């Protein structure tokens, strides 16, 4: 026997979850699976007209604390697409008035429920079909008990007897109760009120809630049956009695049937008439069904045609809109056509010309594939309009190019013809291009549109602008440089700084040439910002795709405020692009090479005037190359923008020119030093030593900015030649070589002592001269000492050489080294030691030409002699321990009296 769904605990939990999900707290009394279909009251024979749907019926109770009563409900649950139960309908059992079981259903499992609160009784009620009679009886019995115990009334049952149903249920349940496990009953909570008598099913076990009949009914039934109770021996008599009564009952039934034959015939005739009517109605319905099918097909055909017409109408409307948009793109406004072909470019008409260019650019772009639907690209009208726009573009570009080329030339010719724009005698004129740029800016937007229309047209325009402006810039630079040189009055500085001469040892350096550097600085202050601004303006004005140049503050030179005055004349160099935004800084542009070539054509030739100023300054004072180099380096470090490429190259060339001129001066000075080598037998301090100190002091005064490297290179070359020449002069007379070296190296150190403390390069040569001086002093002092005490120190040298081969005690037995020889050597060398020391001093004094060195050299000589004598005394004491010699202290005392 299959397990009933009423015993399914999982089904009960699913019902509780679905009901609690709706927000109500109810107790599930019974849950069971059913099949739902539609039917009509009183026509139970029409079963199966609608498809059955699976549903779950759940009987619940809820105790209301407000009314102190228990309410009963019937929930209809359905399955969602995911197989989850969800509420479908809710009925209150207090409105249940009728339960009808269909007798025509062979299984007896189909019934309908009638509620008195349904709005329309004409709506076919739902039919509920159970799986078996047991499920049906269990559900109906639950309805009966809840209505009786909780609600206080019993609904009307049709097609089933309540007692029979109860007995049948009891009869069915009776064996079923013994087949299953013992039942466990769970009492409902106390707040459920009268429903506490109801029991719930636990763990799929059946519970008989109460007896099927009451105690009184059971007593009546026993009394009735008591009349039929017989002994066991009367069974056959009781059986015969039942047979007779059955035969009598059948005879009565047959008699009743025979008496009701006229009624049956009348009913049969009525049935025949009804059958005929039903057949006629069925024929009519088939005819109507055929007509309705044809009508449905006609309606579908009409709807299909209507849909096609409606879609065609929508498509036609969209097509007309697209064609209108396309025609709007293809239309050329008359006013724009007149401006594009008119050829007038006056300032008053430039706004209209720019608007016409913007429209033409947008119109050509609109007919290109990215902006135009590809399906329109090959249309004849589009091709013809594109050709017409190209002709219009070429005509406008040609007219605009011819006008601008002539316009640039006329502007420059007008400025060149007016002498007031240039420097004149007695008056330096600062170039002023503010008016020129203002007039050119009028056509800046036009140039940008010309580039977008035809990029190739900018090449001739750039060349025309560069050639015209180049004439103006070169004329301004030439006139300014000429007047600058003429207005600068100064005396020439001597160029033979290190030339050997018999006169004064130092050239006159009283000439003040600072105005030469100021003149050069003024030239850069005026023209470098001008060239940078012209380069930047040209790059923007001629639409080069390069990073923007931000005007930078130039180094102050000359008058001290030249750069600021120039910037105040025209500080608005930015040109907006077509979209209205400033060009953003970025990486190197592909047009940077083309820009540099154009800037070379724009500024080429102006460097000659700068070279002329440099050469002029060099002729007046070659040392001014140092300050001019520093000024140039400062300006060069300030040019970082890409548009200032030619200006950087110009400053590089100027720096190279200045370095070459200064190198030329250094080479000439080096040749002057080398001429000292030709003089025969030079004694004392050479003339170029103190002159170099004066030259170095002057050079340090001119150092500005980054010119230190240039000066250090000159120092290196000067001093190297000076030292080499000094060595050559010293080697010409070997007898006085050391005296020449030590005097000149000492003079070099004395003259450059202050500069060596602040100039690292000179400090290096200072130390080099100090070492050479010490070496020359040592050689010269050693020669003087050996000249007076040669025999004594030769005797000590022989002993030292023998000590390498024989022991010290055997030295006195060697030939020439005996004690007698030793005594003769000491007597010959130290018998007149005072006289010998005095001869040393006179010899030292006789050879020196510088009295300042005598004292220090004599001190060095005494120290050297004492050191050598101490070594000699220790050696004699070691070889001849019994012999005595004058002590070092005695010798030091003698020297102290000298």
Find all residues with CB under 8 Å of 21, minimum gap 6, and list them.
Answer: 86
pLDDT band at 330 (very low <50, low <70, confident <90, very high): low
pLDDT at 530: 87
- Round the CA-based radius of gyration of the chain to a whole number and report it: 67
In terms of phi and psi (left: phi > 0; alpha: psi -120 to 50; beta: otherwise), the region of 343 is: left
Instruction: Give the CA distances from residue 602 to residues 59, 282, 366, 536, in Å, rounded to whole numbers and listed in that order.
Output: 103, 108, 38, 12
**Strand intervals (E) in 147-268:** 156-158, 186-187, 199-200
> What mean pLDDT comes out for the span 442-448?
80
Please, which contacts does 826-835 make with residues 24 or more away whose CB atoms are closer than 8 Å? 826/792, 826/876, 826/885, 828/791, 828/792, 829/789, 829/791, 829/792, 830/792, 830/885, 830/886, 833/886, 833/891, 833/894, 834/894
Spatial contact of 764 and 747, defined as CB atoms under 8 Å apart:
no
Per-residue model confidence as pLDDT tens digits over 223-243:
766 655 444 456 788 788 888
Spatial contact of 168 and 189, defined as CB atoms under 8 Å apart:
no
Range among 370-374, 831-835, 864-868 rated most confident: 864-868
User: From CA 113, how far away is CA 451, in angstroms rounded?
Assistant: 90
* pLDDT higher than threshold 60 for residue 199: no
Spatial contact of 36 and 19, defined as CB atoms under 8 Å apart:
no
User: From CA 434, how far away is CA 420, in angstroms rounded?
Assistant: 15
Per-residue model confidence as pLDDT tens digits over 618-638:
888 888 888 888 888 888 877
pLDDT at 840: 80
pLDDT at 209: 39
Find all residues with CB under 8 Å of 185, minimum gap 6, and list them.
Answer: 199, 200, 202, 207
Pairing relationship of beta strands 156-158 and 186-187 according to DSSP bridges: unpaired
User: From CA 596, how far away is CA 21, in angstroms rounded?
Assistant: 81
* pLDDT higher than threshold 70 for residue 784: yes
What is the per-residue burial (b if ≥16 Cβ within 10 Å, else e) of 525-556? bbbbbbbbbbbbbbbbbbbbebbbbebeebbe
DSSP-derived 3-state class of residue 551: coil
Per-residue model confidence as pLDDT tens digits over 826-854:
887 777 777 888 778 787 777 777 777 77
> What mean pLDDT comes out for the span 4-23?
82
pLDDT band at 587 (very low <50, low <70, confident <90, very high): very low
Per-residue model confidence as pLDDT tens digits over 736-762:
778 888 888 888 888 888 888 888 888
> What mean pLDDT comes out for the span 856-865?
83
pLDDT at 561: 42
pLDDT at 827: 80
DSSP-derived 3-state class of residue 110: strand
pLDDT at 284: 93
Beta-bridged to residue 77, according to DSSP, are 56, 87
Range among 129-138, 155-164, 793-802, 883-892 rated most confident: 129-138
* pLDDT higher than threshold 70 for residue 26: yes
Find all residues with CB under 8 Å of 242, minimum gap 6, and list them.
Answer: none
User: From CA 552, how far away is CA 643, in angstroms rounded?
Assistant: 13
* pLDDT higher than threshold 60 for residue 579: no
Per-residue model confidence as pLDDT tens digits over 108-128:
889 888 888 875 555 567 888
Average pLDDT, the chain: 76
pLDDT at 210: 42
pLDDT band at 274 (very low <50, low <70, confident <90, very high): very high
Higher pLDDT, 851 or 588: 851
Q: Per mean pLDDT, which range of 30-34, 140-144, 214-218, 626-630 is the poorest?
A: 214-218
pLDDT band at 264 (very low <50, low <70, confident <90, very high): confident
User: From CA 758, how far away is CA 623, in angstroms rounded?
Assistant: 20
Per-residue model confidence as pLDDT tens digits over 275-317:
999 998 999 999 999 999 999 999 999 999 999 999 999 998 8
Model-level pTM? 0.53
pLDDT at 568: 39
Spatial contact of 202 and 184, defined as CB atoms under 8 Å apart:
yes
User: From CA 731, how far away is CA 726, in angstroms rounded?
Assistant: 9
> What mean pLDDT comes out for the span 129-155?
87
Spatial contact of 715 and 696, defined as CB atoms under 8 Å apart:
yes
Range among 110-124, 359-373, 717-731, 876-890 rated most confident: 717-731
pLDDT at 304: 92
Spatial contact of 97 and 155, defined as CB atoms under 8 Å apart:
yes
pLDDT at 582: 42
How many whole angstroms from its chain centre is CA 861?
A: 78
pLDDT at 586: 42
Pairing relationship of beta strands 96-101 and 156-158 according to DSSP bridges: parallel
Beta-bridged to residue 31, according to DSSP, are 58
What single-letter DSSP state applies at residue 149? I
pLDDT at 427: 66
User: From CA 368, how far away is CA 386, in angstroms rounded?
Assistant: 9
User: From CA 498, how far away is CA 669, in angstroms rounded?
Assistant: 6
pLDDT at 677: 62
Residue whose C-alpha is closest to residue 34's, from 110, 91, 106: 110
């Amino acid at each position: 026997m299959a397990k009933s769904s009423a015993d399914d605990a999982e089904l009960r939990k699913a019902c509780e979850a679905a009901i609690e999900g709706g927000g109500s707290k109810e107790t599930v009394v019974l849950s069971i699976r059913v099949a739902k279909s539609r039917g009509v009251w009183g026509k139970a024979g029409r079963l199966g007209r609608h498809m059955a749907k699976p549903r779950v019926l759940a009987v619940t109770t809820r105790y209301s604390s407000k009314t102190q009563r228990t309410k009963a409900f019937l929930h209809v649950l359905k399955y969602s697409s995911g197989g989850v139960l969800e509420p479908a309908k809710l009925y209150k059992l207090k409105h249940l008035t009728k339960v009808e079981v269909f007798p025509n259903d062979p299984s007896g499992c189909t019934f309908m429920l009638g509620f008195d609160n349904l709005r329309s009784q004409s709506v076919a009620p739902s039919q509920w079909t159970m799986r078996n009679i047991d499920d049906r009886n269990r559900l109906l019995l639950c309805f009966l008990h809840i209505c009786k115990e909780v609600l206080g009334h019993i609904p009307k049952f049709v097609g089933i007897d309540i007692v029979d149903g109860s007995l049948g249920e009891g009869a069915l349940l009776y064996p079923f109760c013994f087949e299953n496990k013992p039942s466990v009953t769970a009492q409902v909570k106390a707040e459920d009120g009268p429903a506490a008598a109801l029991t719930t099913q636990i763990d799929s076990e059946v519970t008989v809630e109460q007896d099927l009949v009451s105690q009184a009914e059971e007593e009546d039934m026993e009394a009735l049956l008591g009349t039929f109770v017989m002994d066991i021996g009367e069974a056959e008599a009781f059986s015969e009695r039942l047979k007779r009564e059955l035969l009598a009952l059948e005879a009565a039934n047959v008699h009743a049937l025979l008496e009701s034959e006229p009624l049956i015939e009348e009913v049969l005739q009525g049935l025949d008439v009804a059958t005929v009517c039903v057949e006629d109605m069925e024929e009519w319905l088939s005819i109507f069904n055929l007509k309705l099918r044809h009508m449905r097909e006609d309606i579908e055909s009409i709807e299909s045609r209507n849909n096609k017409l409606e879609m065609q109408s929508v498509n036609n409307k969209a097509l007309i809109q697209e064609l209108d948009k396309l025609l709007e793109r293809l239309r050329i406004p008359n006013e724009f056509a007149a401006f594009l072909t008119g050829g007038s470019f006056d300032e008053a008409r430039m706004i209209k010309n720019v608007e016409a260019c913007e429209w033409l650019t947008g119109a050509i772009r609109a007919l290109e594939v990215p902006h135009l639907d590809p399906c329109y690209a090959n249309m004849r009208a589009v091709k013809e309009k594109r050709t017409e726009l190209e002709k219009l573009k070429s005509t406008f570009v040609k007219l605009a190019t011819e006008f601008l080329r002539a316009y640039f030339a006329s502007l420059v010719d007008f400025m060149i013809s007016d002498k007031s724009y240039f420097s004149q005698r007695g008056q330096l004129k600062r170039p002023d291009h503010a008016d020129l740029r203002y007039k050119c800016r009028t056509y800046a937007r036009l140039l940008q549109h010309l580039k977008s229309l035809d990029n190739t047209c900018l090449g001739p325009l750039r060349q025309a602008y560069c050639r015209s402006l180049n004439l103006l810039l070169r004329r301004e630079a030439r006139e300014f440089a000429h007047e600058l040189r003429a207005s600068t009055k100064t005396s020439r500085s001597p160029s033979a700084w290190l030339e050997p001469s018999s006169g004064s040892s130092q050239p006159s350096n009283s000439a003040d040439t600072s105005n030469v550097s100021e003149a050069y600085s003024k030239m850069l202050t005026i023209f470098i910002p001008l060239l940078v601004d012209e380069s930047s303006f040209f790059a923007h004005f001629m639409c080069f795709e390069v990073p923007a140049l931000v005007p930078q503050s130039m180094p102050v030179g000359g008058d001290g405020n030249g750069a600021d005055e120039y910037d105040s004349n025209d500080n608005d160099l930015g040109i907006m692009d077509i979209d209205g935004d400033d060009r953003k800084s970025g990486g190197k542009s592909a047009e940077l090479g083309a820009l540099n070539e154009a800037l070379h054509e724009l500024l080429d030739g102006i460097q000659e005037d700068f070279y002329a100023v440099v050469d002029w300054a060099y002729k007046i004072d070659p040392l001014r190359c140092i300050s001019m180099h520093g000024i140039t380096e400062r300006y060069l470090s300030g040019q970082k923008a890409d548009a200032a490429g030619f200006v950087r190259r110009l400053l590089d060339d100027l720096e190279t020119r200045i370095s070459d001129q200064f190198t030329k001066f250094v080479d000439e000075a080096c040749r002057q030093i080398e001429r000292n080598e030709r003089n025969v037998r030079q004694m004392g301090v050479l003339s170029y030593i103190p002159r170099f100190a004066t030259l170095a002091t002057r050079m340090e005064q001119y150092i500005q900015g980054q010119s230190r490297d240039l000066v250090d290179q000159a120092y290196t070359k000067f001093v190297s030649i000076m030292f080499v020449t000094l060595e050559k002069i010293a080697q010409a007379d070997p007898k006085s070589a050391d005296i020449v070296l030590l005097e000149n190296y000492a003079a070099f150190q004395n003259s450059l002592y202050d500069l060596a403390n602040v100039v690292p390069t000179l400090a290096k040569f200072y130390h080099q001269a100090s070492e050479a001086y010490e070496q020359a002093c040592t050689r010269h002092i050693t020669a003087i000492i050996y000249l007076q005490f040669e025999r004594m120190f030769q005797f000590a040298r022989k002993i030292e050489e023998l000590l390498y081969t024989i022991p010290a005690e055997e030295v006195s037995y060697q030939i020439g080294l005996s004690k007698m020889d030793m005594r003769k050597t000491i007597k010959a060398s130290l018998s007149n030691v005072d006289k010998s020391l005095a001869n040393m001093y006179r010899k030292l004094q006789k050879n020196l030409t510088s009295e300042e060195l005598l004292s220090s050299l004599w001190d060095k000589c005494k120290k050297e002699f004492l050191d050598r004598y101490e070594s000699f005394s220790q050696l004699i004491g070691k070889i001849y321990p019994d012999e005595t010699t004058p002590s070092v202290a005695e010798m030091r005392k003698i020297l102290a009296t000298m």
